[in-house]
Amino acid sequence: MVNTSVTLCGIRLDNPIIPASGTFGFGYEFAELYDINLLGSLSIKGTTKEPRFGNPTPRIAECPSGMINSVGLQNPGAEAVLKEELPRLKRCFSKPIMANVSGFSTEEYVTTVERLDTEAQIGWFEINISCPNVHGGGMSFGTSSSAASSVVSAVRRATAKPLIIKLSPNVTDITEIAKACEAAGADGISLINTLLGMRIDLRRKKPVVANRMGGLSGPAVFPVALRMVWQVYEAVRLPIVGMGGVCSAEDVIEMMLAGATAVEVGAANLVDPFACRDIVRKLPEVMAQYGIQNLSDITGGAH
């Protein structure tokens, strides 16, 4: 019998599969389709201090082997998440969850984390300094080592829970950002967020999404994500949550061999709501196929 369990920042997961923030709502929506307790954990929809309507529509553009989104962090705000969304999730999910937090200033990140820190079910904070489709926040922190360091340092003082910093691939050298986060007190790194892309409507001769550009996700970005996980694994001594185009149990194994301790599944959930369930079920079979007894043993195994 193979062992799929892993440990992320001191917290044990039954398996490394985590639905990525923004692709799984607040989790309880998927509980109507299957028992989501079979997941390792889940990263809830990105939360900001105040409610956000998000970007104007249209927000989605299809691509071969992927999609572009420009949702713009639509969410009900920290207070509603605490009082409405998380109690609903707790009724159908019994494991620690990952709270994904975004902000437009260091103070906003800190305030939101301090408010959510009171929720016992939150095991980790995933600090999103990498959203490519909002103006004046998100990625503006994740493309500068000094800005990233400033956010991490401030949020580090606001909570004792593990901080996993979500990085942008839209940088010259992702290892420099990762090193800055490590030095500032991060407990882990998650990567990659989406790549900046766009599509143009030939009939209208205008960009498809109202925001002109958005985040490219899906199978097309997997090789880029894998390369960056590999690089960051060699640059820092922190656990990594790998993501970007993961669609199968084989992709999970590949991500872990590159250096990931756990793996988030994003766009695949939007194509098939059973994607994470099916990957979890398939994982033992694929492990056996490749002679893997303990999944935690293979992290970084390709180096």
Catalytic positions: 131
Q: How far is CA 133 from CA 129, 138, 139, 193, in A?
A: 12, 8, 8, 11
Q: How far apart are CA 160 and CA 229, in angstroms?
A: 26
